[in-house]
Structure 1
Amino acid sequence: MSSFALEDFVGNGVLRDQMESLMADGWDDVPTLKVMSREDMDLLQLSQMQRDALELRTYLHDKLLMEYADTLEASGKNLQELLKSSPSELSSEYKMKRGHVARFLDRGSACGIQVPNDLVIPARKATAAHHGGASLSPPRSMSVSPPRQRRSESSNASYADSRASPPEEQPEHKPPVIVRPMTSQAPPASHAIFSAPKVEPRLCGLVKLGVMKEEVTPLSALENIMIQKLAPQHSKGVNPFKGKEPIQLAAPFKASQLWAEKPTLILCLRRPGCVMCRAEAHQLYARKPIFDAMGIQLVVVLNEHIDAEVRQFWPRYWGGMVVADTHRDFFKALGQGELPKEGFVTGFLLNSIAKANYKRAKATGVEGNYAGEGTIKGGLFIMRPGNGGVAYQFVERNFGDWAPIEEVLEVCGNIQNR
């Protein structure tokens, strides 16, 4: 799976020398760079070579082919020209493996993230302000229903045409877009949503999981949890890890500080080396521009601290803040007072849902390992700012369950509109 490290994304190409300028305007992470529009490029006065490089690297990042980015960019050809290459040419000139050639030429499988038209990402606002662009109005108010409805848009032309078309035009191809549905009435401001997938009896019904109450954790059970920061929000040049020395844990602080001033999405990961956990974190962080536009902070909580695992996880699979909850209090809250644990045999080998979840994660190209505690299940909280409490709580019932992204975005959109 493609890395979210900025240095890996820009590589040794023409964008490398432009990064300081881009960062000054807020284009300081990979997901945000990937949603840059033609208008943004005009205001930033990017050269044609820089535009071509960004388009090419965005495509390769989506295709999990970043290992070829420097070589393909150095060829001097743009993406459209490279897509016209024959398989033999890609193989001989660029040393592309056979399976990678097929993936590169398959334009139909491109599935980049697009920001809904009613949202304006902070980097776009900063660019317009710094470079004299047209004033950008705030996102239009939208009312959002409890998360049940799902909508998407897609069509069938080239990836390059999608990125080249301005927002007001109808492009030939638009990658799948998560759109928050509009309804006539939003849920009450204090409304909280509990979400958990179904579980199946194990071993012909001989092994059953306990019944879980559909109750959201009260704020009082979360606000005093003590956590320690392992890694900050990723940006160019930011490296909290000093060589091979052990990671120095920061002083413990109350979890309530995370959401004191802004709404926060908290992803409680079972294990950072787990294939399913890495894939979940990656697909959430890929939507960072959308969360940024809604004012949502992204945080991962780990239930243990293993140096090597944190270094492998951040920022490759997740570029947001990472904290350690060594007392596992967030996880106990997800288990309604008890750690939500299950063994490998009943939880995975005898669980068809968990095995399907594993196949889904492996299909994304993620690699994993078996280091660390892997029997404690995780979940996700969306916290309102200040004393607003929990807006949404998802509990991992089967290994590899993910909070439905449509639900997550709908809840975040509702918080934004309050």
Structure 2
Amino acid sequence: MTSSVSDIKRLFIGQIELEGRRAMGYILSCGDVIEAVGHGTPPTVECVEVETFPEPMTIKQGDFNAHSHPEQSIYTDLVDRSWDLGTWCRNTIYRYSPFITPKQVRLACRRAFGRIALLGASSVMVSFYLHGGKGNVNDREVIAAAKDVGIRLIFGRMTYDMVSPQAYEGKKKAQESYYESPDQGEAYLRELMADEGPTVMVAPAVHSMHASTAQAIERAINLGYDLKRPVQFHLSEDQGDVDISLKEHGVRPVVFLKSMVDSCRIPGLGRLVFSDCCWLDDQERSIMADCSIPVVLNPRMNHRVGVGESDLPSLLSSGISVFLGTDGEASNDDLSVQGEREFLKGRYSGVLSSSKIEALGRQPFQFLDGEIGPLAPGRLCDFVVESDGRTVHLFVGAEPVVRDGTLVNLDMEGDIEAPLAEEIEAMKKTVEI
């Protein structure tokens, strides 16, 4: 009897890092799921494909880049590192994004996902709001780019339903291109779920206190509970979002969200995933811990554009689960999750142990009916094979995405960099508003 793709068994053998210990071991996968993993002699199983990784290579859990704006990789070579957030936005997204084409979105996301994979991340969670008044046209290009590369994607389809009347013309035009009503956002989200697959999950998201109305926030959270999906939310990235919440609702952002639970507008906060969180207070951290809300920190980006700093020691001491992201490549040094850890080690030297920081972002996370995370039976078979800190191979669902330091499915120069360079030159000719 011929095995189907879903039950093909593969055996990977080599030095493997499990629970902080490195020794000879194995991963046995059945389809895209880990059936067995451990140190020592692998089990005897018939009809398996066997691959052995010689020393000094080490098999490790693949990283999870838990917050990314991949289309922003198109701006990477156009930015000045001295720009603060407002200047950065004026010269990148507010200048160009209203005119971005589907082709440009796909190429920029290929660049981002390709670089993320080559840096050892097997999964990425995206926040995307560049809908451009075209429904899911641009959104599908992000998903297509992830499939082109082979990386696992949690696609947060974001509702952005506010246009600032006092904004300068370029910003207002950009916001108008992002705008969708909560009804439109939900309809397009449900439509886009048809594009899901073994490596793609679509989830609701909202932008922030400054770009999403209370109605959009309420709708997204209810959708998260209805669909059993995470709901991404930029929370208090800068002081301005706190000020908006205090002015509009009389309380800080997390307290406002808790009030929506107390008034029965939403069933809870446990589906939310907050990013940034630079301006929390103790009461907000307490609510987040009680509601089991995880946080995604983007420390290098926050530092570079000068918006503030997340209080990592207080988050950890509150019992809040912390993941790591890189935000957009153009506002960061690169797309390395390990780079975020190294930055935090320097920032909190003598305050937090290196081992505690190394553990950040390595905990389990829901993916459809499965789970990404530490290598264990029942989890999705995503792992990296490293040598001296360099990604040699990367596997997603037991399928190769990187081989010998090179993307398997795309040529980085011919399929990404060369055509993207042409598109960037075309984009630079866009008339500035």
- TM-score, length of structure 2 as denominator length: 0.26
- TM-score, length of structure 1 as denominator length: 0.27
